[in-house]
Homo-oligomer: A and B are copies of this chain.
C-alpha cells in the first residue's frame, strides 16, 4: 500500500511539474508570437531568456544562408551593442558549431573549451564563463542561434535549462520567421518607392535625391515632436511621395532654367493635386495623401491648392512643408547656388507663424541645436 501511495504521489509531483512547464510555454508563446515588429520581438525574447534562465547576458544570432554566416541581431548585457556589427562563419566557435550541427551545446567551463572564440570577450571586455546555446529551428529551416551566457550565482547550466531554452527558441523561431517576412516586405516596399521616386527626381537634375532628403528631414522633425513609430512611418512615406505629382508635369517645365511664365507656374502648382489624385484610390494611404496634397499650404492660409490655414492643414503637410523648404534652400538650383544651413534656418525662422507652423519650426531648430541635422547630407 505504501509503495502505491509513493508512486501516486511521485506521479502527482511529475504531473504538476509538467503542467507548470506547459503553462510557461503558453505564456512565452503568447508573449512572443503576438509581435511582428522585429526589434520589439527580439527584445522580448532576450528579456525572457535572461529572466527565466537567470543569466548575465544572452545573444541572438540570425543565419544569413547565402553567406553561410551568423550575424548578431541582438545581444543583451552591458556591452551588447559593441558586437552587433560582427559575424561568425557557420562551423566557427560555439554558435557556429550549433548552427552547423543543429544541436544544443552546454559549456560550463568556457576556458577549457576548444571551440570557444574569445574574440567577442576581447571586444566587449566581458568575461564569458559558461554558455548554453540552442539552434532556432522553424520546421526544417535554421533561423539562427540563441545563447544564454553565465548562469547567475556561478551555477552550471543543466538539462532543465537546456529544455527551457529550447522551448523559448522554438517559439522564437516561428515569431522571428514571421517578423522577418514582415520586415522584408516593408523594406521592399520602401526601397521600391524610394527607387521609383529617385528616378522621377532624376528627370530634373536639380532635384536629384530631393524626395529622399525631405523624407529624412521630416522623420527627424517627427521624432523631435515625439510622434509614435507608426506615424513616423507615415511621415517617411509621405516625404518620399510628396512630389510624385510631378510625373504629371511636362519635362520641359520641370527642367526649365529661366524664370517660369505665368502659365507654366499654374502648371507646376498642380503637382500637389496631381499627387493626391494618383494615390487617392488607396484607402490605407488616406493620411499620406493629405500630406502630399497640403505640402504647399501655408500656416497663414496664403498657400495652395486650397488655401488652408493653421491646424486645418494636416500635421504631415505642415512637417513636409518645412522639410521641403529646408532642402530647397540648401540645394543648388538652376538660378542660384544653395545657401548654408545656418542661413536657411534663419529664413525658415522668419517665416514661423507665416509660412510655417511655429511648433514644427521649433522642432527643426531644436534638432539643429542638438547637432542632429548633420546626418542628412550637410
Q: Could you list which residues of chain A lie within 8 angstroms of chain B, going by C-beta atoms?
A: 1, 4-5, 8-9, 11-12, 15-16, 18-19, 22-23, 25-26, 29-30, 33-34, 36, 138-139, 174, 177-178, 181-182, 184-189, 191-193, 195-196, 198-200, 202-203, 244, 247-248, 250-252, 274, 278-279, 281-282, 284-285
Contacts of A8 in B (CB 8 A): 5, 8-9, 12
A34 near B138 with CB under 8 A, answer yes
B248 near A199 with CB under 8 A, answer yes
A36 near B181 with CB under 8 A, answer yes
Contacts of A9 in B (CB 8 A): 8
Question: Of the candidates B195, B203, B279, which one forms a contact with A281 in the assembled complex, judged by CB atoms under 8 Å apart?
Answer: B195
B285 near A188 with CB under 8 A, answer yes
Residue in chain B with minimal CB distance to A15: B15
A279 to B29, CA, bound (A): 39
Q: How many copies does the complex hold?
A: 2
A247 near B181 with CB under 8 A, answer no
B247 near A203 with CB under 8 A, answer yes
A174 near B282 with CB under 8 A, answer no
Contacts of A18 in B (CB 8 A): 19
B191 near A192 with CB under 8 A, answer no
A139 to B33, CA, bound (A): 13
Q: Known pairs A12-B15, A22-B26; list 7 more (Cβ under 8 Å).
A: A1-B5, A26-B29, A29-B29, A30-B174, A188-B285, A191-B281, A200-B247
Contacts of A191 in B (CB 8 A): 281-282, 284-285
Residue in chain B with minimal CB distance to A278: B199
Residue in chain B with minimal CB distance to A170: B30
> How far in angstroms is the closest Cβ of chain B from A62?
16
Residue in chain B with minimal CB distance to A246: B199
A-B pairs with beta carbons under 8 Å apart, 29 shown: A1-B1, A4-B5, A5-B5, A8-B8, A15-B16, A19-B19, A25-B26, A26-B26, A26-B29, A29-B29, A30-B174, A34-B174, A34-B177, A36-B178, A36-B181, A178-B178, A178-B182, A182-B185, A185-B186, A185-B189, A188-B282, A192-B193, A192-B282, A192-B285, A196-B278, A199-B278, A202-B248, A203-B248, A251-B252
Residue in chain B with minimal CB distance to A184: B284
A189 to B192, CA, bound (A): 9
Residue in chain B with minimal CB distance to A66: B283
Residue in chain B with minimal CB distance to A25: B26
Residue in chain B with minimal CB distance to A11: B12
A279 near B16 with CB under 8 A, answer no
Q: Which 10 A-B pairs have the closest CB atoms?
A: A22-B22, A15-B15, A189-B189, A199-B278, A251-B251, A199-B247, A191-B282, A34-B174, A188-B284, A33-B33
> How far in angstroms is the closest Cβ of chain B from A174?
5
**Contacts known (A182-B182, A203-B247, A250-B251); A174 close to B279, Cβ less than 8 A:** no
